[in-house]
Amino acid sequence: MEAVSSIIQIPVDGLIPALSLPPAQFTYGNAGRNILYGPGRVNFDFSLFKDFRITESLKIQFRTEFFNLFNTPQFDLPNATIGSGPAGTITSIVGIPRQIQFGLKLVF
């Protein structure tokens, strides 16, 4: 009787190609929900107010407001289309850049 031996060849990177295929179209894979994380967000808003009394019952308030004071970019979530070229890359920003607003308010 002859001994039968079989050899399984595993590629150098350790992955078996049949196990690393994307799922068939219109089916779900086995990845969990919300497994992709985006960068954190940092936002500082600042405002200054100064009241000027005109009469006893009338005053003017000068105000200035800074939104996103340090002009920190707010990056969007990474591209979640697995299998495409830009998968996992961030290609846009969300939110607004720095805005400065001045106001004059009459309080009576």
Whether the pTM exceeds 0.85: the reply is: no
The β-bridge partners of 48 are 64
Residue 17 has what DSSP assignment?
A: G
State the Cα–Cα distance between residues 36 and 79, nearest whole angstrom: 9
Average pLDDT (73-91) is: 82
Kindly indicate the confidence band of residue 64, based on its pLDDT and cuts at 50, 70 and 90: very high
**R_g over Cα of the chain:** 30
Q: CA 84, 86, 92, 94 torsion: positive or negative? A: positive
Kindly indicate the confidence band of residue 47, based on its pLDDT and cuts at 50, 70 and 90: very high
- Residue 4: helix, strand or coil by DSSP? coil
Q: Which residue in 21, 97, 46, 17 sits closest to 8, CA to CA? A: 17
Q: Residue 78 has what pLDDT?
A: 84
Q: Residue 38 has what pLDDT?
A: 81
Average pLDDT (51-60) is: 94
